[in-house]
Chains A and B, each alone.
Chain A
Amino acid sequence: MTARTIHFTLNGAPVTADIKPHHNLVELLQTHFGLTGARESCGQGLCGCCTVLVDGRAVSGCLFLAVRIDGTEVVTIEGLDAGGKLNPMQEAFVETGAFQCGYCTPGFILMANQLLDAHPDPDDDQIRHYLSGNLCRCAAYPQIIDAVKLAAKKRKTIAA
């Protein structure tokens, strides 16, 4: 199958990649850029382990064809700790122990950030509802709720 060249912004930097039409976003990030924070698990867009932000919107990287990335802005988990400083959500996940094996964690963090962008002060039900498309087999759900609430506080402190 013919390769084609795409251009996009990856975690703030302009990049180029030669891809094939059947490649998905996870493959693109792993094979071309060595970024493994978005990882395929269920392969059906149901678990959230492959979550990536495309033009600010969370997508399932395992179902998102790489060709569609052309001309977009892509943010992955690796883009969140620019300059070596953890994002408030990342800090909150560490402090509340909101993960065990860590495989699903990048997806949860990206999705939870999107949640706080839309609802800066969510209650438990909002958190559960918004994050219900992400799954954690270690079932750190109670701690994830704690983390999101802690991150909401941290964001307010930063904003204040």
Chain B
Amino acid sequence: MATITDQGTAKVGAQVGRSVPRLEGRDKVTGRAEYTHTMRLSGMLHVKLFRSTVAHGRIKSVDTSAAKKLPGVAHVVTIEDVRKVIPDPYYGPAFHDQPILADGKVRFVGEPVAAVLAADPHVAEQAAQLIVAEYEELPAVYDEVEALTSKVHVHDVLKPAGTFADLKHLKDAKGTNLALDYRLRRGDVDKAFASAAHVFEHEFRTQKVLHLSFEPHATIADYKDSGVTLHTASQGPSFVRTEIARLLGWPENKVRIKVPYLGSGYGSKLYIKLEALALALSMIARLPVKVALTMEEMFYQITKHPSTFRIKSGVDKDGKIIARKCEVYWNGGAYADIGPRVTQKSGLTASGPYDIDNVWIDSYALYTNMTPAGALRGFGVPQLVWAYESHTDMIARALKIDAVEFRRKNLLREGRPHPTGTVLKDAAIEKVLDRLVERINWKQPMDRGTGVVRRGRGLGIAIKAVISPTTSVAIVNVSADGSVALYCGTIDMGQGSDTAMAQMVGEVLNMPAESVRVVQRDTDVTPYDMGTLGSRSLFHMGHAVRRAAEDAQEKLKALACEVGEPEGSNIPIPALFVKKYGMQAGNVIGTGIYKPDYVPPAPGTGLSSNVTPFWMISGAGAEVEVDTETGHIKIAKLISVLDIGKSINPKIVETQISGAALMQLGFTMFEKMHLDGGQVTNASLADYKIPGFHDVPTAMENLTVDVTQSNGPFGAKGVGEVSTFCVSPAIANAIDDAVGVRLMELPLNPESVLRALRVKAGKPLGDE
């Protein structure tokens, strides 16, 4: 049998490193894979929500009488009804700030105010349109920078959930929209700025965009007094169970969360979304209740954080960055969701993959009167990289230093402390840059064009810390016929985790990955996992799975010894069970738990000697063609180069890299939620465009560097988000290279480019 050390030292084995086709492939191509959104339970009621039309207001009245009279309507529910079954109906991972239905106030357009239940969803929809609400409108705050000092306060009192130590000081805070302020203080930035030969200061902004997973959010709750079962499209069933148990005042073992495949998530289905509402409605109806959103409604569920990043760098006469000050404002919307963690976990890398002695970071999570914001494929890091890699290029350009040389001069190298104080290890920043430079032919001159169409190229590099500290638990069950099942809570939402985990089991137990059964997620049987997020699963759950398989292997060995087999016996597993139990009977259960070491950032300074168990390193390069008459941009080439350690499944890794890069291409080039008085004016796929076939760059390269993550399972680490990081600045830098204009706000659409070109030519366009 295969053996590995506890550190999971990389070895080339029969299963790991093989492009095993996805285990669930057949179910997906035959349309038989199960998703919550298309599930039905017998006797189930459907729900339609009546939503707020104002961004901020006191609810004066909600008239549900006409809706209740419509034939076929089972219940019309407001917060008063919810309170009768759940006395304290507030939920959330960081703050218990979100009511199951609006409670006295509405805080964003689209907030659920009332719910209609009916056996026929069309009846529920018709009835929802008969509800009338009156509001006393209040002034609203939308901008994240204004929110810090605004007299408008989204919440009267802040209610931290108690889960996170760095939020405790905000308990009962009043008169503020600040849901977290993360600070990092290293060295003395003011002194360094005073001694710098050059100081550069810029402000970058990102827009509000949507995950838009094709399976909209959906939850079915089936409440009984003896226990509750939720079928839900969730990236974190363990958290859902904890939170539902808390709302009910029940032990966790009475709460069962089942998750089939997800029609993707990208961070939108993390923590708790529709589950609390579905629970309350099922308690009221005493029947199974399904809450399933339409695509339009997803625009009122969760989005990415818009951001403003003020970045200032001091550079000495030799081109060395000696000081960097970062002020990042995160627009968290009306409810905190996981925004405070985005603010902290990404905030600590806001100064980039550079070796800078004096760093000051302030990262602010802010409440505003918009749809809540949470994690989206990068946990805030793409917003940061957009700013710091644009800024880095602007400095190089101003100092007339080659953009790659300037980066090389300042790169954070292996063994050097990151600004948090954590010493850099297994972070192949230089290798990534080298490969990028080679693939984009940086050293060769390029044809820049002479006529209307001009060409340019640009690149960016980035670093991310993984969300810490987090725990994963796995079980490997060897049946008496020798077949193996894996129980792990990682949700396969398309990233291929089931296949990768099965490969790790197969590697340890010396069997084909295809023969390992990955049990569907069900908290009654699958053990705890913190969540499928932040590219943590392959590393954390990977270790737990590896340990569970090793534990099973050890127990099989012990069993062989017990039944009198000689040392090193290769008795087939079925024969081993027969020898023990006299027939095909019994199980061997291996368990594995993984939680990495971690030192939390010190309050006030944000410093930590061990802030992350691994670093994600990313680079992107782009070649663009800009039409100077229309502002139209064509992406001729998009190159991603990543350090992801060893690949467990190279084919799946490649699709993750290209998929994430293309998603970020949409966020970079055109995706934007348009808002007018807090109202989303393009809440549909007709008006909110996402990348299609014609948006794929003419050439794409999806590459990894040949390295090993020494503390990773089989030398691997996560990949799901990593190629999103650098796409935006690489393209903005390429546009500047092509036509000499610098865009400071996403998206980089033709209008922005044309406006910038006309400003540069001294002939600015008028307003819209």
Complex contact B28–A97 (CB within 8 A): no
Residues of B within 8 A of A104 (CB): 214
Q: Can you offer 28 A-B residue contacts whose CB atoms are under 8 A?
A: A31-B40, A36-B35, A42-B684, A43-B294, A44-B684, A47-B214, A49-B214, A77-B31, A78-B32, A86-B26, A95-B21, A97-B654, A97-B655, A99-B25, A99-B29, A100-B264, A100-B656, A101-B213, A101-B493, A102-B263, A103-B35, A106-B29, A106-B31, A129-B693, A137-B663, A137-B690, A138-B494, A138-B659
Q: Do A139 and B658 touch across chains, with their CB atoms under 8 A apart?
A: yes
B264 touching A138, Cβ below 8 Å: yes
Contact present for B295 and A135 (CB under 8 Å):
no
Which residues 481-514 in B have Cβ within 8 Å of A in the complex?
493-496
What residue in chain A is nearest B294 (Cβ atoms)?
Answer: A43
Asked whether B262 is an interface residue with its Cβ less than 8 Å from the other chain, the reply is yes
Residue of A nearest to B31 (CB): A37
Judge if A30 is at the interface, Cβ distance under 8 Å.
yes
Asked whether, in the complex, the Cβ of A100 is within 8 Å of the Cβ of B29, the reply is no
As a 0/1 sequence over residues 286 to 302 of chain B, the CB contacts with chain A under 8 angstroms (1 = contact) are 00000000111000000
Complexed CA–CA distance, A95 and B29 (Å): 11
In the complex the two chains form, is B31's CB within 8 Å of A76's CB? yes
Compute how far the CA of A135 lies from the CA of B213 in the bound complex, rounded to whole angstroms. 11
Q: Is B33 interfacial (CB-CB < 8 Å)?
A: yes
Closest to A142 in B: B658
Q: Which of B62-78 contact A (CB under 8 A)?
A: none
B interface footprint on A121-144 (CB within 8 Å = 1, 0 otherwise): 000000111011001111111110
Q: Tell me the B6-63 residues at the A interface (CB within 8 Å).
A: 19, 21-22, 24-35, 37-38, 40
Binding site for B on A (CB under 8 A): 22, 30-31, 35-39, 41-44, 46-47, 49, 76-78, 80-81, 86, 90, 93-95, 97, 99-106, 109, 127-129, 131-132, 135-143
Contacts of A139 in B (CB 8 A): 658-659, 662-663, 691, 696
Give the interface residue-count category, chain B.
35 or more
Question: Given contacts A97-B655, A102-B24, are A41 and B30 in contact (CB under 8 A)?
Answer: no
Instruction: With A22-B122, A101-B261, A128-B694 as known contacts, state yes or no: A140 contacts B30, CB within 8 Å.
Output: no
CA distance A81 to B28 in the complex (A): 12
Would A97 and B22 count as touching, CB distance under 8 A?
yes
> Could you tell me the distance between the alpha carbons of A1 and B125 in the complex, rounded to whole angstroms?
15
Q: Does B445 contact A (CB under 8 A)?
A: no
* Inter-chain contact B29/A39, CB cutoff 8 Å: no
In the complex the two chains form, what is the Cα distance from A30 to B35 in whole Å?
A: 13
Extra contacts besides A102-B27, A139-B659, A141-B692 (4): CB < 8 Å: A102-B494, A106-B29, A127-B693, A137-B212
Docked-complex contact A36 and B31, CB < 8 angstroms: yes
Chain A residues positioned under 8 Å from B294 (CB to CB): 43
Residues of B contacting A37 in the complex (Cβ-Cβ under 8 angstroms):
30-32
Partner of A90, one of B29, B38, B263: B29
> In angstroms, how far is the closest chain A Cβ from the Cβ of B702?
8
Lowest 8 A-B CB distances belong to which pairs? A37-B31, A102-B28, A100-B494, A101-B494, A103-B263, A77-B31, A139-B662, A101-B264
Distance of A1 from chain B, by nearest CB (Å):
9
Chain B residue numbers with a CB within 8 Å of A109 are: 29
Q: Which of B643-677 contact A (CB under 8 A)?
A: 651-652, 654-656, 658-659, 662-663
Using CB atoms, name the residue of chain A closest to B261.
Answer: A102
Which residues on the A side are within 8 Å of B216 (C-beta)? 41
Which of A31, A94, A100, A142 is within 8 Å of B496, CB to CB? Answer: A100
Cα A31 to Cα B686 with chains together (Å):
27
- Which residues of chain A come closer than 8 Å to B252, judged between CB atoms? none
Closest to B30 in A: A81
Q: In the complex, what residues of B have CB within 8 A of residue A86's CB?
A: 26, 29-30
User: Which of B28, B296, B659, B694: most chain A Cβ within 10 A?
Assistant: B28
CB of A141 within 8 A of CB of B31, answer no
In the complex, residue of chain A having the shortest beta-carbon distance to the beta carbon of B664: A139
The reply on B573 being an interface residue by CB < 8 A is no
A61 to B2 CA separation, bound complex (whole angstroms): 50
CA gap between A142 and B696 in the complex, in Å: 8
**Using Cβ atoms and an 8 Å threshold, which residues of chain B touch A97?**
19, 21-22, 651-652, 654-655
Tell me whether B685 is interfacial, beta carbon within 8 Å. yes
Which chain A positions have C-beta within 8 A of B658? 139-140, 142-143
Cβ–Cβ contact B494 & A105, under 8 A: no
Q: Is B705 an interface residue (CB 8 A)?
A: no
Give the Cβ gap from A57 to chain B, nearest Cβ, in Å: 19
Shortest A151–chain B CB gap in Å is: 11
Structural contact, B295 and A41, CB atoms closer than 8 A:
yes
Q: Which residues of A contact B213 (CB under 8 A)?
A: 101, 103, 137
Cross-chain contact of B31 among A31, A78, A100, A128 (Cβ < 8 A): A78
Are B30 and A47 in contact, CB atoms less than 8 angstroms apart? no
**Interface presence of B588 (CB below 8 A):** no
B215 within 8 A of A: yes
Question: Do B262 and A101 touch (CB < 8 A)?
Answer: yes
Q: Which residue of B lies closest to A132 (CB)?
A: B693
Residue of B nearest to A77 (CB): B31
Instruction: Report if B700 contacts A (CB, 8 A).
Output: yes
Contact with A along B683-713 (1 / 0, CB 8 A): 0111000111110100010000000000000
Q: Inside 8 A of B684's CB, which chain A residues have their CB? A: 42, 44
Q: Which residue on chain B has the smallest CB distance to residue A135?
A: B692
Residues of B within 8 A of A99 (CB): 25, 28-29, 494
Q: Which B residues touch A46, using CB under 8 A?
A: 685-686
Give Cα distance in the complex from A116 to B141, angstroms.
Answer: 53
- Does B30 lie within 8 Å of A131, measured CB to CB? no
Least CB distance, B718 to chain A, in whole angstroms: 15
Q: Which of A81, A103, A131 is within 8 Å of B214, CB to CB?
A: A103
| Residues of chain B contacted by A100 (CB below 8 angstroms) | 264, 494-496, 655-656, 659
Q: Which residues of A contact B694 (CB under 8 A)?
A: 128, 132
CB closest chain-A residue, reference B697: A142
Q: Give chain B nearest CB distance to A126 CB in angstroms.
A: 11
B685's partner among A22, A42, A102, A103 (CB-CB below 8 A) is A42
Kindly supply a per-residue 1/0 record for chain B positions 383-423, scoring 1 wherever the CB is within 8 Å of any chain A CB and 0 otherwise: 00000000000000000000000000000000000000000
Contact in complex: B31, A132 (CB < 8 Å): no
Q: Which of B27, B655, B658, B684 is packed against the most chain A CB atoms within 10 Å?
A: B655
Interface centre among B38, B294, B663, B686 (most CB of A within 10 A): B38
For A90, what are the chain B residues with a Cβ–Cβ distance below 8 Å? 26, 29-30
B31 contact set on A, CB distance < 8 A: 35-38, 76-78, 105-106
A81 to B30 CA separation, bound complex (whole angstroms): 7
Q: Which residue of B lies closest to A80 (CB)?
A: B30
- Distance, CA A84 to CA B19, complexed state (A): 24
Bound form: Cα–Cα A37–B26 in Å: 13
Which of A49, A78, A100, A103 neighbours the largest number of chain B CB atoms within 10 Å of its CB?
A: A103
Q: How far is the CA of A140 from the CA of B690 in the complex (A)?
A: 13
In the complex where A101-B213, A103-B263 touch, is A93 in contact with B29 (Cβ < 8 A)? Answer: yes
Q: B28: which A residues are within 8 A, CB to CB?
A: 99, 102, 105
Set of chain B residues within 8 Å of A76, measured between Cβ atoms = 31
Residues of B within 8 A of A135 (CB): 214, 685, 690, 692
Give complex CA distance A46, B689 in Å: 10
Which B residues lie within 8 Å of A142 (CB)?
A: 658, 696, 700
- Cβ B662 vs Cβ A103 within 8 A: no
Q: Are A103 and B691 in contact (CB under 8 A)?
A: no
Most buried by B among A41, A101, A104, A140: A101
Of B213, B214, B294, most A-chain CB atoms within 10 Å: B214
Which residues of A have CB within 8 Å of B214?
Answer: 41, 47, 49, 101, 103-104, 135-137
For window 267-326 of B, CB contacts with A under 8 Å fall at: 294-296
Q: A102-B261, A135-B692 are in contact. Are A39 and B22 (CB under 8 A)?
A: no
**Chain A residue at minimal CB-CB distance from B696:** A141
Chain A residues with CB below 8 A from B495, complex form? 100
Contact residues in B for A81 (Cβ distance below 8 Å):
30
Taking CB atoms, residues of chain A closer than 8 Å to B662 are: 139, 141
- Give chain A nearest CB distance to B24 CB in angstroms: 7
Question: Which residue of the partner chain A has the closest CB to B493?
Answer: A101
Q: Of B25, B37, B216, which is in contact with the most chain A CB atoms at under 10 Å from its CB?
A: B25
